[in-house]
Amino acid sequence: MRFFLWNAILALWVTVLSGALIPEPEVKIEVLQKPFICHRKTKGGDLMLVHYEGYLEKDGSLFHSTNGKIPPESTLIFNIDLLEIRNGPRSHESFQEMDLNDDWRLSKQEVKVYLQKEFEKHGAVVNESHHDALVEDIFDKEDEDKDGFISAREFTYVHDEL
């Protein structure tokens, strides 16, 4: 019994020490410019229309796409301008709005149509290749069972990307 207890304690210490050696990824957020008077602050569930530019720290070169090739181990710098804040839709209502054929699952085409309408509603340029890449990224993250559809169960609205 004593041998088992010492092995358990030793295993616990090895786990704790090895976990302590793994550095946490560092995310630094710095406000460069803030309006003197801020009438509306964001809250959970809000939709934000932003413009961003991403730069590689090593040489300051600009990349503009989340799907572009970024060298491994690169430090990235983003300048993000908040253009507009809107109250976000409720999760269930969003899903129903996207589900054009009422089958309780979202196809890639349904998500693409929804995104195009949202972009047009906000006056943004509709770029086919950008939308295709965005849809693929959404399905990579949301389609848990990888069946090519996002079910009502898989659909989530609350995210914590940072």
- Local structure of residue 136 (DSSP, 8 states): H
Which domains are delineated in the chain? 27-88 (3.10.50.40), 92-156 (1.10.238.10)
What's the pTM?
A: 0.48
Q: What is the pLDDT of residues 113-134, one digit of tens each?
A: 988 888 888 777 777 887 788 8
* Residue 112: its H or E element: helix 108-121
Q: Rounded to an integer, what distance in angstroms lies between the CA atom of residue 114 and that of residue 159? A: 19
Q: What is the pLDDT of residues 63-119, one digit of tens each?
A: 765 556 777 777 877 777 777 777 665 567 788 888 999 999 999 999 999 888 888
Higher-confidence residue of 146 and 153: namely 146
Q: Rounded to an integer, what distance in angstroms lies between the CA atom of residue 5 and that of residue 8? A: 5
pLDDT at 22: 59
Q: Report the relative pairing of strands 105-106 and 150-151 from DSSP bridges.
A: antiparallel
